[in-house]
Structure 1
Amino acid sequence: MHFFLLVFACALYGSTFALNNGLMRTPPTGWLAWERFRCDIDCQNDPKNCISENLFIDMADRLSEDGWRELGYVYVNIDDCWSSMERDGNGRLQPDPKRFPGGIHKLARYMHNRGLKLGIYGDMGTHTCGGYPGTTLDKIQIGAQTFADWEVDMLKFDGCYSNFTEQEQGYPLMSKALNATGRPIGYSCSWPAYCGGLPPKVNYTQLGEICNLWRNYDDIQDSWDSVLTIVDWFFDNQDVLQPAAGPGEVERPRYAAHW
């Protein structure tokens, strides 16, 4: 099993859309499924590695029983391919019933009972990167409320199958919708990764107003070469990224991130 630190830099700013949810004042750490398990849904032939509630229960047990939680590793994050291919009768996303028979809310409670937090994945587009139902502009409000009803603690909002105009509207709208639920949900925006990661194409001032953290660069792969490539990219661009980084503060949080 590979445990990976979620490395986040922090910065300061505040405005009307600022999340102001009291979260992620320091770099959040935990475990994310994507790097190792990708979109493995073959639970019949690969039950220990498929994207299912059993995988995330196992990770929760490892974090809570093996000393990781005490070191600050508290997030267990579901990535793509968790959902059913169809929304429910009310238009809400729903988990695959065979792979998540207990539902996401029950899984969140499992995390919380062990002093952990549950993260989930969504996509600002017609489909997720793995081809599952996305969250178009008209589905953002119901999506945010669904995650809040499930007691989810963090949302990673990807950007596959959408264009810049839709992203420009959707990422701020999701921020506002999450705030409106009344539940503190850490908001991770993948928007800059779809715009090259660097200013002036990426407006880090705006990102700081709407997101707790964000993604700048490509997916990490299961190799040391991939890690080095990511490190090199941040090193080569540190002069333009550094102004958007800094410690959090209570009144006006802004956070940057790379998954």
Structure 2
Amino acid sequence: MTAVTVLLGLLATGALALENGVGKLPVLGFNTWNLYGCDYTADILLEQAQAIVDHGLLDAGYNNFMLDDCYSLKERNKKGNIVEDPKKFPHGMKAFTTSLSKLGFRAGIYSDAGYRTCGGFPGSYGNEARDLKTFTDWGFQYLKYDNCYIPFDNVTQENVYGRYQRMVDAIAAHADKTKTDPVQLALCEWGWQQPWVWGARLGQSWRIGGDIRPWWSALSSIINQASFIASSTKFSARNDLDILEVGNTGVGTPPGNLTFDEAKSHFTAWALLKSPLLISSDMASATRETLSILENKDILRIHQDPHVGESVVPFRWGWNADYTWDPAHPAEYWTGNSSYGVVVMVLNTQDETREMGFNLTESWAVRAGRGYEVYDLWSHTRNGTAYRNVTVTVPAHGVAALLLNDAGPEPEGLEPFCGGWWQCSFPNGTYYSN
């Protein structure tokens, strides 16, 4: 078999995995890890699920409940199966997912492509089909798949792609055998081997880096990385920027120490970049400020756009020259299309409030020579019609999120005659100079 044949086979398999009918849109929901780590019980988690319902976030779309690491005993049973921890789940895992389902949630679970999970519990390498059956028998429909405790190369004779392919094959075989929808797969590969290049062949999302932390420098670093790979996102396949740090997560010193403006920037960037939105905050004590961010219907509507799967991408770096790698000061000006208008995100990476502006024609999605009605996705107000330029005041580490809609031709006689000067010409071939 030639190398070309092998490559074509991988591409064909990946295309089938991508178009398997699940995960067209990014998920919204809750993840247990940043809030609890390994310290939880079924009752504690169901309290969080009930709080999500009570706050109206289930109705807003947060309908996935993700059980992360540490749910099982440290060793498999004599039959080789993973066993739920009876102290954490005294009524069994099936009873837990049934309770979630009654509340309106789809249940997700965690495993690993190595011998053990990152927390040291049984991983799924060599047991992919067995574990997938266990997970689905328990009632789980979503699988976060991590990358710890990797077997030796001479054992796997595969790289990370091949180790993940084993679970993809198990998912496809199980769906075919049971005539059920495939389990949705979220690759937690940490960006080690550029999953934004190949991840769409295997799963519906892929982590682009390490675990998030609740401080601005961590967020800006993730946004910086995302600015170079944002175009990888599409329907059924997307960059995963990791868990939402909006509210008290219990992680860090002090926990959840983002300012309100930083939290808004965090949520806006994750949503408009079409990342999964998985809360890991204490929803039982959620503040009105936290809820006002998480329930922003205008931004969630774009995140869940049924007709446009792509994310926003940078059109100008702003503080830095374009394409500058700077974890402290990532790209500041972003744009994209949506079913509801042209989306623009302006991010202030500096430590003080700034006036920030852009020319409408810098956005690829805008038509030159026309005015645009400006709608603010945070104030939920219509702010008049813009011709040529838009200027916004953005607080330190804050964000402006705008929706632009065509308002017709711009007035006659506006100069310069071209919003962008490059190659602007009169009919006789003379260049127009601004």
With normalisation by structure 1, the TM-score equals 0.77
> Cα–Cα, structure 1 residues 127 and 203, in superposed 2: closer, same or farther, change >3 Å?
closer
Residue number among 141, 157, 166 corresponding to 1:153 in the alignment: 141
Equivalent position amino acid for 1:96 in 2: D
The residue number in structure 1 matching 2:188 is: 190
More moved, 104-113 vs 68-77:
104-113
Structure 1 segment 138-177 matched on structure 2, within 5 A = 138-162=126-150, 165=158, 167-177=160-170
Residue number among 215, 220, 238 corresponding to 1:228 in the alignment: 220
Percent identity, please.
26
> Cα–Cα, structure 1 residues 145 and 19, in superposed 2: closer, same or farther, change >3 Å?
farther
> Cα–Cα, structure 1 residues 37 and 229, in superposed 2: closer, same or farther, change >3 Å?
farther
Q: Give structure 1 stretches of 5+ with no counterpart.
A: 1-13, 40-49, 196-200
How much does 1:230 deviate?
2.2
The whole-number CA distance in structure 1 between the counterparts of 2:184 and 2:88 is: 25
The whole-number CA distance in structure 2 between the counterparts of 1:32 and 1:147 is: 17
CA contact (8 A) 2:141 2:184 kept: yes
How much does 1:173 deviate?
1.2
The whole-number CA distance in structure 2 between the counterparts of 1:57 and 1:112 is: 11
Residue number among 34, 39, 47 corresponding to 1:58 in the alignment: 47
CA contact (8 A) 2:191 2:207 kept: no
User: Is the aligned partner of 1:215 residue 2:207?
Assistant: yes
Q: Which of the two has higher C-alpha Rg?
A: 2
User: Is the aligned partner of 1:258 residue 2:241?
Assistant: yes
Equivalent position amino acid for 1:181 in 2: H
The whole-number CA distance in structure 2 between the counterparts of 1:205 and 1:226 is: 23
Equivalent position amino acid for 1:188 in 2: A
**Greater share of strand:** 2
Equivalent position amino acid for 1:106 in 2: A
Q: Which runs of 4+ in 1 moved over 6 A?
A: none
Residue number among 206, 209, 224 corresponding to 2:198 in the alignment: 206
The whole-number CA distance in structure 2 between the counterparts of 1:229 and 1:128 is: 26
Equivalent position amino acid for 1:206 in 2: W
Q: Give structure 2 stretches of 5+ with no counterpart.
A: 1-10, 243-434
How much does 1:161 deviate?
0.9
> Cα–Cα, structure 1 residues 166 and 142, in superposed 2: closer, same or farther, change >3 Å?
farther
Structure 1 segment 94-109 matched on structure 2, within 5 A = 94-109=83-98
User: Is the aligned partner of 1:127 residue 2:116?
Assistant: yes
Give CA deviations for 1:51-104 in whole Å, capped at 9, x if unaligned. Answer: 221222112111222201111101111111111112123211111111111222
> Cα–Cα, structure 1 residues 226 and 243, in superposed 2: closer, same or farther, change >3 Å?
closer
CA contact (8 A) 2:204 2:238 kept: yes
Equivalent position amino acid for 1:227 in 2: L
Structure 1 segment 69-84 matched on structure 2, within 5 A = 69-84=58-73
The residue number in structure 1 matching 2:401 is: none
Structure 1 segment 34-49 matched on structure 2, within 5 A = 34-39=33-38
The whole-number CA distance in structure 1 between the counterparts of 2:191 and 2:26 is: 23
Equivalent position amino acid for 1:20 in 2: E
The whole-number CA distance in structure 2 between the counterparts of 1:225 and 1:82 is: 31
CA contact (8 A) 1:35 1:222 kept: no
The whole-number CA distance in structure 1 between the counterparts of 2:172 and 2:73 is: 26
The whole-number CA distance in structure 2 between the counterparts of 1:203 and 1:256 is: 9
Equivalent position amino acid for 1:119 in 2: G
The residue number in structure 1 matching 2:80 is: 91
Q: For residue 16 of structure 1, give the secondary structure of its aligned residue in structure 2.
A: helix
CA contact (8 A) 1:19 1:179 kept: no
User: Is the aligned partner of 1:16 residue 2:13?
Assistant: yes
Equivalent position amino acid for 1:153 in 2: Q
Equivalent position amino acid for 2:44 in 1: L
Equivalent position amino acid for 1:29 in 2: L
How much does 1:36 deviate?
1.9
CA contact (8 A) 1:245 1:256 kept: yes
Give CA deviations for 1:121-177 in whole Å, capped at 9, x if unaligned. Answer: 1011111111111122x2111011111111202110000111573533220110111
The residue number in structure 1 matching 2:31 is: 32
Q: For residue 108 of structure 2, give the secondary structure of its aligned residue in structure 1.
A: strand
Equivalent position amino acid for 2:218 in 1: S
CA contact (8 A) 2:195 2:206 kept: no
> Cα–Cα, structure 1 residues 59 and 229, in superposed 2: closer, same or farther, change >3 Å?
same
CA contact (8 A) 2:200 2:238 kept: yes
How much does 1:256 deviate?
2.9
Aligned residue pairs, count:
220
Q: For residue 71 of structure 1, give the secondary structure of its aligned residue in structure 2.
A: coil
CA contact (8 A) 2:196 2:206 kept: no
RMSD value, Cα:
2.1
Q: For residue 221 of structure 2, give the secondary structure of its aligned residue in structure 1.
A: helix
**Greater share of helix:** 1
The residue number in structure 2 matching 1:47 is: none
Q: For residue 13 of structure 2, give the secondary structure of its aligned residue in structure 1.
A: coil
